[in-house]
C-alpha cells in the first residue's frame, strides 16, 4: 500500500504479497511475538483446559463436614491453585471464568470499536453528519450507566433468555450493554483524527483526482486512524472485563454460579490478607490478557504502517 502522503522509496525487488510484508514486520517486533504467544497460551488454556482438568468449577462437597474441611485449601496436587471459601477448585473456576471473560472482552471491544470508529469517521468526514452524530455521542456520554443497564436487563433479559437460553442470552445482553456504553471515547478520538486527516495533502490529492468518498475512507482515512483505534481497543478489552465484573457484582451480569475472572477477583477481595493467592490468579490473568493484547496491538500498528515497514 503506497499512498500519496508517503514518500518511502519504491523497492525494486519482485512484488511481494502485502500481507507477507506485514507479517515480516510483525515478526521483528519481539514484544508482539511474546504477547501473541502468551495470548494463545491463555486461549488454549481456556479452550482445552476443561478437557484436561476435568473438575466441575461448581462442585461442592455435599457432606457438610467434608465441605468445611475442603474450604480455603492451599495449593496441592489435587487443587494446583487451592480451593475457595466453599471448597470449589480454583483452577477449574479460573478456566471456566477465562472462557467468559476473554469472550466478553473481545466481543464487547469489537462492538464498541466498530461502532465508535464508524460514528467517528462519519462525523469527521461528512460535515453534515458531524452535528447530529456528535450530539448523539454527548447523549450517550451523559446517560447514567446504571439505570440504562437496569432498563436493558429488565426489557430484554427474559426475552433473550427465552429465545437463546439463559447463558447465551445473558452473554449477548452483557456484551451489547458494554459495547453500546463504551464506544463514545473512540468515536470522539477517531473524529478528531479524521478532521485533521481530511485537510492533509494526500487526502486532498486523492479527492482532487475524483476518488469517491467510500474509497477515500477505506483506502486513505481508515489506515491512518489505526493507531489510536488500537490503543482504544486494548483499553476497551480491559474495560470490558472489569465492567463485566461490576455488572455481576450488581446482579446484572451472569447468574451467580457462572464464574468470570472479574467476579473471582471481586469475590477474593475480602480474603486479600488471609489468602492473597485468591486475588493474585484472577488479577494476573486479567493483566496478562490486557498486556498481551497491548503488545500485539503495538506490533500490528507498526506492521501496518508502511512508513515503518519500509525501514
Partner 1 sequence: MKLRTILMGAAAVIATAPAAMAERGSDGNVNVIYWQAPSILNPYLSSGTKDIESSSLVIEPLAGFDEKGDLFPRLAEDIPTVENGGVSKDMTSITWKLKKDLKWSDGTPVTSADVAFTYQYCTAPDGGCAQGAHFDGIKSVETPDPQTIVVTFTAPKPNPYLAFVGGQSPILQKAQFADCLGAAAPTCTEQNFHPIGTGPFVVKDFKTGDVLQLEANPNYRDPAKPAFATMTLKGGGDAESAARAVMETGEFDYAWNTQINPDLQAQMTAAGKGHFVNAFGTLVERIEMNQTDPSPDLAEGERSTVKHPHPFLTDPNVRLALSKAIDRQALVDVGYGEAGRPTCSIVPAPAAYASTNTDCIKQDLDGAKKLLDEAGWKDTDGDGIRDKDGKKMHILFQTSTNPVRQDVQALVKGWWNEVGVEVELKNIDASVYFGGDAGSPDTFEKFYADVEMYANNFDGTNPEAYLAGYLCSKIPGPDNQWQGENIPRYCDPEYDKLVAELAKTSDMTQRGDLAKKMNDMVSAVGMDSMALIDRGRLSAASNTLGGVVVNTWDSELWNVQDWTRIK
Partner 2 sequence: MLTYIFRRLLIAVPTLLLISLVIFLLVDLAPGSPMSEIPLTVPPEVKKKMIEAMGADQPVFVRYLLWLRQFFWVEPAYWLDGHFGTHLAGDAQRILSYQTRSPVFITIGQRIPQTMTVIGSAYLVGVLIALPIGIYSAYRQYSWFDQAGTFFAMIGFSVPTFFTGVLLIVVFAAKLQWFPSVYDTTLKVTDWASFLKQVRQMVLPVTVLAMFNAATISRYMRSSMLDNLGQDYVRTARAKGMGEGTVVLKHVLRNSLIPVVTVIALGIPSIFGGAIITEQVFKVNGLGAALIGAIHANDLPMVQTLTFIFAVLIVLFNLIADVLYGILDPRIRYA
Query: How far is CA 53 from its chain centroid?
Result: 26
* Nearer Cβ to partner 2 (63/138): 138
Please give the grid coordinates belonging to residue 292.
498481551
How far is the C-alpha of 286 from the C-alpha of 96, rounded, in Å?
Answer: 14
CB atoms within 10 A of CB 10: 7
185 contacts partner 1 (rule: CB under 8 A): no
How far is the C-alpha of 145 from the C-alpha of 288, rounded, in Å?
Answer: 28
59 contacts partner 1 (rule: CB under 8 A): yes
* Nearer Cβ to partner 1 (126/249): 249
DSSP for 141-196 reads HHS-HHHHHHHHHHHHHHHHHHHH-HHHHHHHHHHHHHHHTS-HHHHHHHHHHHHH
- Helix, strand, coil % in the chain, rounded to nearest 5: 75, 0, 25
Interaction partner, residue 156 (partner 1, partner 2, none; CB < 5-8 Å by kind)? none
68 contacts partner 1 (rule: CB under 8 A): yes
Tell me the residue length of the chain.
311
280 contacts partner 1 (rule: CB under 8 A): no
Burial call 213-242: b when 16+ CB within 10 Å, e when fewer: eeebbeebbbebbbbbbbbbbbbbbbbbbb
Which residues form the interface with partner 2 (CB under 8 A)? 7, 31, 127, 131, 134-135, 137-139, 141-144, 146-148, 150-151, 154, 185, 188-189, 192-193, 195-196, 199-200, 227-228, 230-231, 234-235, 238, 241-242, 245-246, 262, 265-266, 269, 272-273, 279, 283, 286-287, 289-291, 294-295, 298, 301, 305, 307-308
73 contacts partner 1 (rule: CB under 8 A): no
CA angle 200, 194, 126 (to 5 degrees): 105
164 contacts partner 1 (rule: CB under 8 A): no
- Contact between 83 and 70 under an 8 Å Cβ cutoff? The reply is yes
User: x/- string (CB under 8 A) for partner 1, residues 226-265?
Assistant: -----------------------xxxx--xxx--------
271 contacts partner 1 (rule: CB under 8 A): yes
Interaction partner, residue 244 (partner 2, partner 1, none; CB < 5-8 Å by kind)? none
Cα four-point dihedral sign 207, 212, 213, 214 = negative
163 contacts partner 1 (rule: CB under 8 A): no
Give least dist CB 267 to partner 1, A: 7
Interaction partner, residue 189 (partner 1, partner 2, none; CB < 5-8 Å by kind)? partner 2
Q: With CB under 8 A, what is the number of residues at the site for partner 1?
A: 30
How far is the C-alpha of 266 from the C-alpha of 244, rounded, in Å?
Answer: 11
* Nearer Cβ to partner 1 (138/158): 158
Applying CB under 8 A, the residues found at the interface with partner 1 are 58-62, 64, 67-68, 71-72, 85-86, 88, 150, 154, 158, 162, 166, 249-252, 255-257, 267, 270-271, 273-274
Amino acid at each position: 500500500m503506497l499512498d500519496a502522503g508517503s514518500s518511502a522509496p519504491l523497492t525494486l525487488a519482485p512484488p511481494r504479497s502485502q500481507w507477507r510484508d506485514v507479517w515480516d514486520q510483525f515478526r521483528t517486533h519481539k514484544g508482539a511475538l511474546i504477547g501473541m504467544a502468551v495470548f494463545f497460551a491463555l486461549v488454549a488454556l481456556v479452550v482445552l483446559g476443561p478437557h484436561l482438568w476435568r473438575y466441575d468449577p461448581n462442585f461442592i462437597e455435599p457432606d457438610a463436614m467434608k465441605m468445611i474441611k475442603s474450604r480455603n485449601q492451599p495449593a496441592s496436587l489435587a487443587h494446583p491453585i487451592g480451593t475457595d471459601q466453599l471448597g470449589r477448585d480454583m483452577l477449574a473456576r479460573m478456566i471456566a471464568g477465562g472462557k467468559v471473560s476473554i469472550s466478553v472482552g473481545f466481543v464487547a471491544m469489537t462492538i464498541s470499536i466498530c461502532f465508535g470508529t464508524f460514528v467517528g469517521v462519519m462525523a469527521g468526514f461528512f460535515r453534515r453528519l458531524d452535528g447530529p452524530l456528535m450530539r448523539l455521542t454527548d447523549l450517550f456520554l451523559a446517560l447514567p450507566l446504571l439505570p440504562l443497564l437496569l432498563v436493558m436487563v429488565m426489557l430484554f433479559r427474559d426475552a433473550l433468555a427465552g429465545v437463546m437460553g439463559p447463558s447465551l442470552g445473558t452473554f449477548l445482553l452483557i456484551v451489547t450493554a458494554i459495547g453500546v456504553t463504551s464506544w463514545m471515547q473512540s468515536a470522539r478520538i477517531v473524529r478528531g483524527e479524521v478532521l485533521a486527516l481530511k485537510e492533509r495533502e494526500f487526502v486532498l490529492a486523492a479527492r482532487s483526482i475524483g476518488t469517491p468518498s467510500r474509497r477515500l475512507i477505506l483506502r486513505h482515512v481508515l489506515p491512518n486512524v489505526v493507531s489510536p483505534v488500537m490503543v482504544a481497543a486494548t483499553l476497551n478489552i480491559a474495560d470490558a472485563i472489569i465492567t463485566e465484573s461490576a455488572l455481576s457484582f450488581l446482579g446484572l451480569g451472569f447468574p451467580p454460579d457462572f464464574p468470570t475472572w472479574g467476579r473471582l477477583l471481586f469475590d477474593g477481595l475480602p480474603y486479600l490478607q488471609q489468602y492473597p493467592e485468591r486475588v493474585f490468579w484472577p488479577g494476573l490473568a486479567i493483566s496478562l490478557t490486557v498486556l498481551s493484547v497491548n503488545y500485539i496491538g503495538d506490533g500490528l500498528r507498526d506492521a501496518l504502517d508502511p512508513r515503518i515497514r519500509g525501514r
